[in-house]
């Protein structure tokens, strides 16, 4: 039986830590990020992994920083883990922590490393229009997702996947993989395969400003952006009244050489829905949410918010009631 410490913070980590708890091994403790202010009221809110740990009566630690935190390192040493398992913890671990467990520290990462190292592999693989992704379980070192690969598994991306759907599928895959791999460590430390740094790509933390739709881009690119940023933080544009429209689902409409300025509303009726010209082809906005309202289908939205064909969507200072002809 292995003695394991788990380190993770958001919802993605929950299936993985649950799999560790359900295994034949001992979960000594959970390490997660500190409580943070959240929502409009900025209420101090515990991360999902802390909530899970408390519900399951697992000791939980929340160091603000690990590097240079001798008191925390001594606590981990006293626990004497055989292995540390991490999934979306949120900090790069220092060498003096990585050296504590004799079997090492392993990480469940949501990409086919060395591609998509970094903070947002699930979102970025969709934004880039890729057709496959997967889970890599790696040994941790002091780099960002640079450790030797122990095992990888591919996952085909469904055309209907958005970041929320893909997140859940990958989290479940990671949980299944960690359940199997823990038994390998009972026999000793499995050999890992070094990553090829020449094939490495990186993805940065998602920022809300990334969601603004640039209508000059192709319809395919815009649809991929919508998929990659749904449900959070969301792709968005502005209507003719300057109100933000969050776009939750979009469909590419093939219409080469449509001849209209990007952002121009081409149709806005109950037969064709809300179709908008892009730099190449057009999109149909299938689901949207006006600032302060609830999410609606385009047909339901248009019933209460008619849009004149020829209106241009986009930032108010650049658009307004601009019509065809």
Residue 288 within any structural domain of the chain: yes
CATH number of the domain enclosing 301? 3.10.25.10
- Given 169, 203, 237, the domain boundary residue is 203
Are residues 19 and 92 both part of a single domain?
A: yes
> What pLDDT sits at residue 317?
64
pLDDT for the residue 273: 98
HSE-CB at 59 with a 13 A cutoff on CA atoms is: 10
Which residues of the chain carry a pLDDT beneath 50? Answer: 319-325
Residues 128 and 67 in one domain: yes
Between CA 14 and CA 201 the distance in angstroms is 26
pTM across the whole model: 0.93
* Pair 143, 191 in one domain: yes
Asked if the structure places residue 325 within a domain, the reply is: no
Residues 151 and 259 reside in one and the same domain? no
Per the domain annotation, does 57 fall within a domain?
yes
Full domain range(s) for residue 255:
208-318
21 and 148 housed in the same domain: yes
Indicate if 155 and 74 belong to the same structural domain. Answer: yes
Same domain, 73 and 214: no
Give the separation between CA 285 and CA 80, rounded to whole angstroms.
Answer: 54
Is 148 in the same domain as 184? yes
Number of structural domains in the chain:
2
Other Cβ atoms within 10 Å of 140 Cβ, number = 23
**The pLDDT of residue 41:** 83
Tens-place pLDDT, residues 288-301: 999 999 999 999 99
Q: Please confirm whether the linkage preceding 318 is cis (ω < 30° from 0).
A: no
Q: Is residue 323, in this structure, part of any structural domain at all?
A: no
Mind listing the pLDDT tens digit for each residue in 110-135?
999 999 999 999 999 999 999 999 99
Phi-psi label, residue 188: left if phi above 0, alpha if psi -120 to 50, beta otherwise: left
Q: What pLDDT does residue 321 have?
A: 40
User: Token digits for 287?
Assistant: 């689901």
Residue 206's CB is within 10 A of a number of other CB atoms, namely: 19
Residue 46 in domain: yes
Comparing CA positions, the residue from 129, 127, 147, 128 lying closest to residue 137 is: 147
Asked whether residue 53 is assigned to any structural domain, the reply reads yes
176 and 255 within one domain? no
The reply to whether 250 and 234 lie within a common domain is yes
Q: What is the pLDDT of residue 320?
A: 41
User: Does residue 133 lie within any of the structural domains?
Assistant: yes
Assign residue 126 the CATH number of its domain.
Answer: 3.40.50.170
**Domain-embedded: residue 129:** yes
CA distance 5 to 101: 9
The pLDDT assigned to 257 comes to 76
Q: What is the dihedral of CA 235, 240, 241, 247, to 10 degrees?
A: -20
Given 152, 181, 203, the domain boundary residue is: 203
CA dist 176 → 135, 152, 230 (Å): 10, 12, 25
Q: Among the three residues 181, 203, 225, which one is the final residue of a domain in this structure?
A: 203
Lookup: tokens for 212: 């603004």
**Contact in structure between 9 and 47 (CB atoms under 8 Å):** yes
Same domain (yes/no): 215, 146 = no
Cα dihedral 170, 172, 176, 181 sign: positive
- What is the 3-class SS of the chain, one letter each residue? CCEEEEEECCHHHHHHHHHHHHCCCEEEEEECCCCEEECCCCEEECCHHHHHHHHCCCCEECCCCCCCCHHHHHHHHHHCCCEEEEECCCCCCCHHHHCCCCCCEEEEECCCCCCCEECCHHHHHHHCCCCEEEEEEEECCCCCCCCCEEEEEEEECCCCCCHHHHHHHHHHHHHHHHHHHHHHHHCCCCCCECCCHHHCCEECCCCHHHHECCCCCEHHHHHHHHHHCCCCCCEEEECCCCCEEEEEEEEEECCCCCCCCCCEEEEEECCCEEEEECCECEEEEEEEEECCCCCEEHHHHHHHCCCCCCCECCCHHHCCCCCCC
Do both 281 and 221 map to the same domain? yes
């Amino acid at each position: 039986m292995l003695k394991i410490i788990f380190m993770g913070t958001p919802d993605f980590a929950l299936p993985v830590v649950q799999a560790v708890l359900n295994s034949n091994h001992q979960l000594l403790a959970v390490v997660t990020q500190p409580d943070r202010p959240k929502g409009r009221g900025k209420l101090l809110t515990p991360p999902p992994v802390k909530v899970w740990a408390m519900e399951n009566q697992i000791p939980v630690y929340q160091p603000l920083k690990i590097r240079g935190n001798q008191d925390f390192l001594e606590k981990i040493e006293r626990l004497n883990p055989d292995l540390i398992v991490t999934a979306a913890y949120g900090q790069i671990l220092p060498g003096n922590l990585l050296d504590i467990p004799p079997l090492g520290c392993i990480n469940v990462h949501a990409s086919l490393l060395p591609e998509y190292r970094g903070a947002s592999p699930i979102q970025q693989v969709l934004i880039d229009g890729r057709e496959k992704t997967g889970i890599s379980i790696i040994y941790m070192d002091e780099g960002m997702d640079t450790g030797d690969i122990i095992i990888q598994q591919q996952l085909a991306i469904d055309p209907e996947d958005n970041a929320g759907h893909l997140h859940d599928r990958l989290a479940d895959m990671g949980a299944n993989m960690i359940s199997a791999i823990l038994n390998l460590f009972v026999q000793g430390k499995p050999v890992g395969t070094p990553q090829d740094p020449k094939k490495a790509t990186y993805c940065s933390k998602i920022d809300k400003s990334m969601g603004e739709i640039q209508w000059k881009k192709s319809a395919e690119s815009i649809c991929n952006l919508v998929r990659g940023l749904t449900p959070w933080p969301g792709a968005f544009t502005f209507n003719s009244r300057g109100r933000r429209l969050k776009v939750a689902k979009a469909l590419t409409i093939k219409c080469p050489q449509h001849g209209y300025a990007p952002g121009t509303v081409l149709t806005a009726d109950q037969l064709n829905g809300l179709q908008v010209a892009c730099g190449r082809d057009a999109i149909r906005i299938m689901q949207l949410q006006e600032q302060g309202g609830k999410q609606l289908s385009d047909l339901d939205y248009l019933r209460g918010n008619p849009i004149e064909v020829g209106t241009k969507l986009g930032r108010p200072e650049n658009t307004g009631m601009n019509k065809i002809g």
